[in-house]
Structure 1
Amino acid sequence: MTMTVNAADLYQRVSHVVPAIEWATMVEDVEAIMRLKVERNAVILAHNYMTPEIFHAVADITGDSLALAREAIDVEAEVIVLAGVHFMAETAKLLNPDKTVLIPDLASGCSLAESITAADVRALRAANPGVPVVTYVNTSAAVKAESDICCTSGNAVEIIESLGVPKVIMIPDRFLAANIARKTGVEVITHPGACEVHERFTPADIADIREKWAGVTVLAHPECPPNVVDAADYAGSTAQMVSYVANQHPKRVALITECSMSDNVAQQFPSTEFVRPCNLCPHMKRNTLASIRHALETMTNEVTVPADVADRARTSVERMLAVKVGK
């Protein structure tokens, strides 16, 4: 198949990780998606864990969960396709109730979101009266609706500190809660949830990377266990990892997070060598060019939130977005 000029231009964005012979199998879907975005007045929001052909070639807005939540507010398109997981699509719908929000694959879940229910939150409140509930955005709208305020891995410290209280309920990620508690000094009551990608990393993995790659700088996601964070040189959200590389210019770096993150960031920093430890998120990888194309062609896999849940969940998200986050 002969690539159009547009497709050829797009290929330059992913040529560092996608072989030309593989790109040739993607061109038809890429061109169809670009056409459908115009026909449907649609925009694609893509999380940092998307594969490069989605992240660099067809996405209009990219970033971590906080960036996508903020950008979703200003989307003017009539249709939003959320290339990520279900809770992200729900958040986009909360912030854009009058728009159509599609997800490429309805089975794109999240181990954290599935680890806790609205009933669990009510039980935690009953056991800890008066203690505010801070809920990670990696949760369902129903759980957000039972919360006081949301947070992401990128703004959790500021959110906790903004409350000015000695104790909080922070759910559902027990590792993120433990890491944030150490940074803030606030007592944290949590829930036994964990990210199936980040919980698998160990200090031994970090030691192995350092042994094999001299001078490597190790950046860990705060969903990793505390002993992994301690073994790293820096811990932060995916957006904070990008900022670290941009500001510190390490010669060699390992991002302790989902596989596709390194592929997507490497293009921005050609002078930095990226070591690629790889734990895949099976839910994120359900997003493909074919599934995005199908969602736009058929306008299926729409994500909706019941009005009574949406109103309360939206309040928790909006409270989060109102908190100023430092650079």
Structure 2
Amino acid sequence: MACSKEKECQILEDMKEYYGKTIQNKDELMINNSTSTCDAPPCKLPRHIAGALELIHPDVKAKSYGCGMTVPELLEGTHVLDLGSGAGHDCFALAKLVGETGHVTGVDMTEEQLEFARRYIDYHQETFGYSKPNTDFVMAYIEKLGDAGLKDDTFDVIISNCVVNLSPDKRAVLKEAHRVLKPGGEMYFSDMYADQVVPDHIKQHKVLWGEGFAGALWWEDLVRITREVGFSTPRLVKASKINIKKSIQDLTGNVKYVAATYRLFKVPQNGNNMPVDVVYNGSVTGHDKVIALDKHNTFKVGSVVEVDPELSAIIQQSRFASAFTVVPSKTSDGEKTIPMNPFSGTRAA
């Protein structure tokens, strides 16, 4: 068991029951069809991502419970870990995107979900035209990845799609994610967040845990925890309001929720304190003219863009290094801030 406290253990057992036996497809979730995960205008997926999603088996699509699109850029040849992989929807999409030389590992605590996902490994290998499978699924709690034999500095990218909110110990999840990532690696994940600390009466509601509302982090706690475990500052990719049904609203009261995607990097947190200039070369698949690394940093090919010191370190020490050139800095406007609040500047505001 991944917990030491009786209450945390009970939450994990309840989640295993909820997603292993109670919920059989996404239409049974109370939050389903009430969540918008794309900012207006509607998301337009790059062709290579849309193509990968089209190849996923319909039965797997029907059991996708996520709250966002957890597909970062530049995945070719990488080793990816999916925390809370469920029926394997995101894993199989990523298996296509990493290519035959890459690999995707899904980890989940629910045996029923793992058994389901494993039944479709061969189908997707054959559909993608690979000589052998590049996907595997292991059973473990995301708070204790070592129990599944996952070693330090193993993965290039970690993704998670609306699963961290189901854990009673977010710090343990993020600490483990940091441990198994390679230096320069990235955690790219969608989740539900609250505009305040979720009150105890909500946290005691079993169904609200299963639907994500009870376990949603106050977004400021995310910032604090990620820094404590060694990650870079959370980079907000996108955020949008969760429209809560009245039956849920009656229970959650004045707490507001958003579905937000952040990216975290395993890079040193110290360094110079001045912004630098970078130039994007257009080499990332699906982004030959422009690429957005977060909600506030978009790069056009050939354009000189000033970035904050931490983003400079991320670019130079991650898989994005080959896609950017650091150039001599011009006169700076001063230290740049990093907006992180998912409730600011979105439809959730």
TM-score (norm 2): 0.26
Higher percent of residues as helix = 1
TM-score (norm 1): 0.28
Higher percent of residues as strand = 2
Looking at both structures, which has the greater relative contact order when contacts are Cα pairs under 8 Å and sequence separation is at least 6?
1
